[in-house]
Chain A
């Protein structure tokens, strides 16, 4: 187990280049604590897998250094990095049995039979593979095959880090929960450094202590699941996390008031020194918006659509042509299409050029 440090890493698949657009990963610095559970979250093509392959050594970064503890491993081949990686689709050795598949990484490193056997049997038990231990791996279902892939990643106790590249894509939703909690359990038990790549926010938020959100080759926020939800530092994070995502509306600022579509909204903080010509937006999660009956307080809006998704209702409201989502437990007392919208000022964020600005207390 090790602390993983990325020092000024950048990668371009076309080799060194002066054009920033060539870079799949733009300059990033990051430290992964020893024994931490991290999730790398982002849409497809944002550079998550590239970053993972740089850590495992399948790719050598165009620029920068990778350190395990304090050793520079940037150019060390994968085999010598003592790292485990699990891929999106099951990779199994067809001609081997389940036992041989799980034992393979240990066998290649010269462990004895006496060391291998109990470890394989123990891990197969945890993954629910005991019954099939001596069947050919190729005859199993996709689920079981992916469990074997997971098992080969978890079999070595002394790895520096375990990297997961969207490992649960092919797994049934119900089993996903089970495997995810198993991974969490294994993490607690063995204190592996785990890095989990996913584009599924639920997966990231339940698995990780800390989530790294990536967007277009850059890290846009590093934080706990709560921080990502409450105070997204980038409009992308607000929009990407949460279902539905954060409402983002262009606005203008006047001290502690924001003007959205011609309506004044009083904010909890004061914003000064906003550069002229900058893109200013107001962001608020649908959970922090509320609707009042038309005769109550708030900004007048028109209800466009109501989706009942069981636990709560998602109401789409029009504010002078701009549509916002509101999450409400109930829609009691509402008649007709008109309502009034209330902002929770403690959870209303202001973004300048997509970046969160803190503002000053009033």
Chain B
């Protein structure tokens, strides 16, 4: 009879991974979970409150307002940056000296740190010394992002479009460049219109990169913090207080660790859920869009 010699030493091989994951993800996350179900009055004295913070959060007007502002902001950002990115990518040259010029000028905004972008636009938009603000004021347009909520929103949106549309452009451009010439030649032979070429060749071939672009832009715009914080600080009033700004106010400003922890978890779950929805919907578009068609 053969006796199989076994031991459990192999577990030590995965120990480093367990440690890294524990310290980088599990322990911080569980700390937040821990805070979200307790209340504290300082001196590290904690009281168990169960789901109270979550219930309070779900029914709080402040959270609803921040959440809606955040949804509206991400919606506007996606609605502008994705079509604009596709249009710019379609218009970019495919060969010659224009290619490096376009690529480099597209990549430049992506290289600037967030808080610097915020500072640039904060100064750019100032009515007293900023080029944009001062020019608009001298044209007689009433623009002041520190007092007018609409001006504040416009500033933050234009800034984000300026900062991040390039990402969509570069991804779409990569997708477009990977389409073999034969497709365009076949479309010419088939007598396809410019719109058909876009609809039936370019868009389907860009689907994967567009999915990545939309997910990245959604997650990033949904978590935006630095730039609006630098430009408006969440104001005027609470008009540009997005979820992350609200969260920081709650956690650091008011030191309400319990409610802030509950909000973090909800925030995280919302991003996860919406990303999953985007992913599922977009991966299925190609599958179902023309099922049973042709009749």
Name A residues whose Cβ lies closer than 8 Å to a Cβ of B.
53, 56-58, 77-79, 83-85, 87-89, 91, 93-97, 99-100, 103-105, 108-109, 133-134, 136, 138, 149, 152-153
Contact = CB atoms under 8 A, between A and B. Distances in A.
A100 B290 contact: yes
A244 B234 CA distance: 81
B253 interface: no
A94 B294 contact: no
Contact of B293 (A57, A84, A100): A100
Contact of B191 (A58, A97, A105, A149): A105
A152 B185 CA distance: 13
A140 to B, nearest CB: 14
B204 A78 contact: no
Contacts of A96: 200, 290, 293-294
Given A79-B188, A97-B293, A136 B183 contact: no
17 contacts: A57-B188, A85-B189, A87-B186, A88-B182, A91-B185, A91-B186, A95-B289, A99-B294, A99-B295, A100-B290, A103-B294, A105-B191, A108-B193, A109-B191, A134-B292, A134-B293, A149-B186
B205 interface: yes
B287 interface: yes
Interface of A is mostly: mixed
B286 A95 contact: yes
A100 B291 CA distance: 11
Top 10 A-B pairs, shortest CB-CB distance:
A99-B294, A108-B191, A78-B188, A91-B186, A105-B190, A87-B182, A93-B200, A100-B294, A94-B204, A95-B204
B196 A77 contact: no
B185 A87 contact: yes
Interface in B257-295: 286-287, 289-295
Contacts of B289: 95
B191 A79 contact: yes
Contacts of A133: 294
A79 B186 CA distance: 10
Interface of B: 180, 182-183, 185-186, 188-193, 196, 200-201, 204-205, 286-287, 289-295
Nearest to A80: B191
Nearest to B196: A108
B182 A91 contact: yes
A118 B294 CA distance: 13
B191 A136 contact: no
A167 B193 CA distance: 25
B197 to A, nearest CB: 10
A58 B185 contact: yes
B204 A134 contact: no
B274 to A, nearest CB: 25
B193 A94 contact: no
B75 to A, nearest CB: 26
A78 to B, nearest CB: 4
Which residue, B182, B192, B290, B293, has most C-beta atoms of chain A within 10 A?
Answer: B182
Nearest to A116: B294
Contacts of A93: 200-201, 204
Which residue, B190, B193, B204, B290, has most C-beta atoms of chain A within 10 A?
Answer: B190
Given A93-B204, A99-B293, A134-B292, 18 more contacts: A56-B185, A58-B185, A77-B188, A85-B189, A93-B201, A94-B200, A94-B205, A95-B289, A96-B200, A96-B294, A99-B294, A100-B290, A104-B200, A108-B190, A108-B191, A134-B293, A136-B291, A138-B286
A215 to B, nearest CB: 25
Contacts of B188: 57-58, 77-79
A100 B199 CA distance: 14
A273 B170 CA distance: 68
A91 B204 CA distance: 13
A6 to B, nearest CB: 19
A87 B292 CA distance: 27
A103 B294 CA distance: 8
Given A108-B193, A109-B191, A85 B186 contact: yes
A152 B186 contact: yes
Contacts of B290: 95-97, 100, 136
Contacts of A99: 293-295
A97 B200 CA distance: 12
B200 to A, nearest CB: 4
A109 B193 CA distance: 10
Given A94-B204, A95-B200, A152-B186, A134 B191 contact: no
A78 B294 contact: no
A88 B185 CA distance: 12
Contacts of B182: 87-89, 91
B189 A83 contact: yes
Contacts of B291: 136
B190 A152 contact: yes
Contacts of B183: 91
Contacts of B286: 94-95, 138
